[in-house]
Structure 1
Amino acid sequence: MAVAGAKNDAVSIAAHRGDAKTLLAFDVLTDSAKKGLAGFTIKVKPPTREAYYLINDLQFEHPDQHARDPSEAENSTMNAPIHKFRWLHVPGQDHQGLSPEFGDYTYTVTPRYFNETNKMVAFEAGLSLDVIVRLAPNRDNRRALTISITYLNRR
């Protein structure tokens, strides 16, 4: 499994490439970066398509009480950050339909924060980190699987 990573003074991101999918893992490196952490905004840029924000199944009960981008859906991670420290991205699930493309994907991960009154503050692009992952089917595993199936069928 190939790994790409990036870090700044506050957070680190590791991207683990799997069989046509990416596991993103986040870590908060300092106590000050943990204070008020709301979650993570994740933007994905496929090789030849427009960038998009991943979708979060969870969203704020009152989204209008938090800083938000009105051009994005309420469940976009721009407006509803991921509350986990990992996320599995499988192209084709939300934005690319039944024909996801393979190649270099750029993941931009940004920690998001609450203020003293527990309202999410505006997006701060300066906190963003990029990791690039070459997404492709794992041909070695497919070959091993084909060999195993062929062997079992001969029995």
Structure 2
Amino acid sequence: MGKKRKRPARQTETPSKRVQVASKPSRDNEATHPVISRYYLRVLTLRQYLLEQLPPSSKSRRRRVASLGRQGSDSDGSREDNIEELTTLLDSTLVGILCETNRKDDQERQKHFAAFTQSQYRSSLTSTDTGPTCPQSETNAAAH
């Protein structure tokens, strides 16, 4: 009988490495821009905006967005360039928010939209094209 493999010892994360997840939008991590700030209530980077839009239950997606491009990479050069470009895009693109939306309203809106699109899809399946209302020969005769 072979040796049993031992599991590696579990390492605890240091508080500095943990991704901070804010349940409510905080004003201290907002970006500022002299012109955009005049027209929008809040100005965020694209990374911050995406983190706010993700539901609190999707911790793995939050962690991936928050840590993208911020840890050491051991991948090939082309992938590294793509990650660097994506990181630059996430941190340099500004998103202006006019007014805060309620998550409950968004969910309700999504339900209504899904019901609407499904009803449109079903109605297009039930209606069949039966062809022209009159034969083409009658149309040609009327034109002459």
Flag the structure with higher strand content.
1
**Which structure would you say has the larger Rg?**
2
TM-score, normalising length: structure 1 = 0.26
Report the structure, 1 or 2, having the larger helix content.
2
